[in-house]
């Protein structure tokens, strides 16, 4: 009898939970946030907690909004969870406003589809990049290691809408366990505070290669060529993002035979050489490289850093870059151009501070600030 009652109770709980799940209205549960911005395109990313037909309603000044949906292999994109809507053909340096929309698909059969509610986000706006922009302002933080409140305190000290982009320079989370962590520990804070309107550029850190969900991390971003290494232009500056990978040798016991960063760094180096031969790089007046692990010539260093110095250092030296911005060491450090070993100066930002930068005619100005907004360091790089 007792066992019978327990079974009935379990069945009732299961039915109630199922009814609650069915009752819960569909929602846009994360985002939107913007990714992969260029002079002519943008990707709007958001998530729903149900199966939908996603889209973006894009408005340009004085024009009726147009609905943009993506398709692949002849099929319009539908799905659950993360949605990415790529928009191309935009005008350089132009402001656009948008709303994301999601049409619920209640039932999707071969010969019948039942649509449900249509959801809309609030209205947001963004600007495409422009070669004509005279001042380029950006904010960088790194090594936050799951502390979303720290991101919040950096943002408190930042004039968000003056920034051209925010650069998350690696180890924003300590390792990658699941989707909840990715949203809760950084993306939600960024999306709510700035990333619905200002680009959130992501650089992978060595800690973000660890954990059983690390192979899914890329799904939450949109990168050119679907790689963690990429480049973009704003104003007169070419920005290059490198993925410096893990710090220890691939066969180190900590990785359990599950990494292959020597091959990856070699593949990325070929891309870097191509990038540096491109007109976008060659024609840029200013060249700034972001890398989580510093590319620096030092006598004694761990495997990853030694590999980077040996293979990447000479390529970057030859390309005559103006500045490298890094994290990883958890200490602020300014390394003069004569001391990096490769002719460029480097600023390393600690895990307790953030970096604000302005690229202007003839110079790059940089401030390291703490969570109270107090100036910790200030440097100017005079452009050649």
Q: How distant, in Å, are the alpha carbons of 114, 139, 168 from that of 328?
A: 50, 17, 12
Nearer to Fe ion (CB atom), residue 189 or residue 206: 206
In the structure encoding, which two tokens stand for residue 45, read together? Answer: 């990313």
Q: Which of 35, 206 has the CB closer to Fe ion?
A: 206
Nearest approach, Cβ of 330 to Fe ion (angstroms)?
8
Dist CA 296 CA 301 (whole Å): 9
> Minimum Å distance from CB 210 to Fe ion?
11
Question: Checking phi first, is residue 89 left (phi over 0); if not, alpha (psi -120 to 50) or beta?
Answer: left
Q: Which residue is nearest to Fe ion (CB)?
A: 328
Q: Output the smallest distance, CB 350 to Fe ion, in A.
A: 12
> In the complex, what is the shortest distance from the CB of residue 107 to Fe ion, in angstroms, rounded to a whole number?
47
Q: How far is the CB of 302 from Fe ion (least distance, A)?
A: 11
Q: Cβ contacts of residue 40 below 8 Å, gap of 6+?
A: 88, 89, 90, 91, 92, 128
Q: Which strands form 353-360's sheet, in the order they lie side by side?
A: 200-203, 165-169, 136-141, 353-360, 363-370, 375-382
Stretch of 49-57, 75-83, 168-176, 368-376 lying at the interface with Fe ion (CB under 5 A): 168-176
Q: Interaction with Fe ion in 339-378: which residues (CB under 5 A)?
A: none
Query: What tokens were used for 221?
Result: 């971003």
Short-list 190, 167, 204, CA closest to 37: 167
Contact flags string 123-162 toward Fe ion, x per CB under 5 A: ----------------------------------------
- Residue 97: closest CA among 34, 163, 155: 34
Q: Of the two residues 46 and 261, which places its CB atom closer to Fe ion in the complex?
A: 261
30 vs 328 by CB, closer to Fe ion = 328
- The nearest distance, CB 209 to Fe ion, in angstroms, is 10
Binding to Fe ion (CB under 5 A): which residues in 193-212? 205-206
Residue numbers 301-340 binding Fe ion by CB under 5 A:
328
Q: Does 169 bind Fe ion (CB under 5 A)?
A: no
Instruction: Please count the other Cβ atoms lying within 10 Å of the Cβ belonging to residue 72.
Output: 7
What is the spatial distance between Cα 282 and Cα 320, in angstroms, rounded to a whole number?
A: 10
Residues 76-115 that bind Fe ion (CB under 5 A): none
Tell me the number of residues near Fe ion by CB under 5 A.
Answer: 4
Cβ 333 to Fe ion, closest distance in Å? 14
Nearer to Fe ion, 297 or 328 (CB): 328
Backbone φ, ψ for residue 170 (5° rounding): 90, 155
Residue placing its CB nearer to Fe ion in the complex, 205 or 294: 205
CB closer to Fe ion, 169 vs 233: 169
By CB under 5 A, tell whether 171 contacts Fe ion.
Answer: yes
Which whole-number Å values give the CA distances from 20 to 14, 236, 242, 251, 318, in the listed order? 10, 54, 46, 48, 62
Least distance (Å) between residue 296 CB and Fe ion: 14
Contact at 8 Å (CB) between 327 and 205?
Answer: yes
By C-beta, is 78 or 148 nearer to Fe ion?
Answer: 148
Quote the CA–CA distance of 302 and 369 in Å, as a whole number: 28
The residues that touch Fe ion, with contacts defined as CB under 5 A, are 171, 205-206, 328
């Amino acid at each position: 009898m007792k066992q019978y009652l327990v079974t009935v109770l379990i069945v009732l709980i299961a039915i109630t939970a199922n009814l609650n799940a069915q009752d819960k209205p569909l929602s846009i549960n994360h985002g939107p946030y913007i990714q992969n911005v260029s002079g002519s395109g943008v990707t709007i990313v958001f998530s729903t907690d149900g199966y939908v037909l996603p889209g973006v309603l894009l408005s340009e000044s004085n024009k009726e909004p147009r609905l943009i949906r993506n398709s692949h292999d002849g099929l319009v994109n539908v799905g659950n969870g993360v949605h990415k809507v790529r928009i191309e053909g935009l005008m350089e340096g132009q402001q656009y406003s948008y709303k994301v929309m999601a049409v619920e698909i209640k039932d999707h059969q071969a010969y019948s589809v039942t649509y449900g509610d249509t959801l809309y986000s609030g209205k947001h706006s963004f600007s495409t990049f422009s070669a004509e922009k005279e001042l380029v302002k950006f904010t960088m933080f790194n090594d936050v290691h799951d502390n979303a409140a720290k991101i919040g305190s950096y943002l408190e000290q930042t004039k968000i809408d003056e920034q051209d982009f925010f650069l998350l320079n690696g180890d924003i989370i300590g390792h990658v366990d699941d989707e909840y962590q990715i949203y809760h520990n950084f993306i939600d804070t960024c999306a709510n505070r700035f990333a619905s309107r200002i680009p959130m550029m992501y650089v992978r850190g060595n800690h973000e290669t660890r954990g059983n969900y690390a192979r899914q991390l890329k799904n939450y971003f949109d990168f050119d060529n679907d790689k963690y290494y990429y480049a973009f232009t704003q104003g007169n500056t070419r920005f290059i993002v490198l993925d410096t990978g893990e710090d220890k040798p691939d066969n180190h016991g900590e990785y359990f035979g599950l990494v292959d960063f020597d091959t990856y760094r070699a593949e990325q180096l070929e891309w870097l050489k191509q990038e540096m031969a491109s007109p976008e790089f060659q024609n840029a007046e200013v060249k700034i490289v972001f890398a989580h692990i510093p590319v620096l010539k030092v006598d004694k260093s761990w495997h990853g850093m030694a590999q980077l110095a040996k293979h990447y250092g000479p390529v970057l030296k030859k390309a005559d870059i103006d500045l490298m911005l890094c994290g990883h060491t958890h200490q602020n450090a300014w390394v003069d151009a004569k001391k990096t070993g490769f002719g460029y100066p480097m600023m390393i930002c600690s895990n307790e501070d953030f970096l604000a930068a302005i690229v202007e005619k003839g110079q790059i100005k940089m401030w390291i600030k703490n969570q109270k907004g107090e100036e910790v360091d200030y440097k100017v790089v005079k452009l050649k």
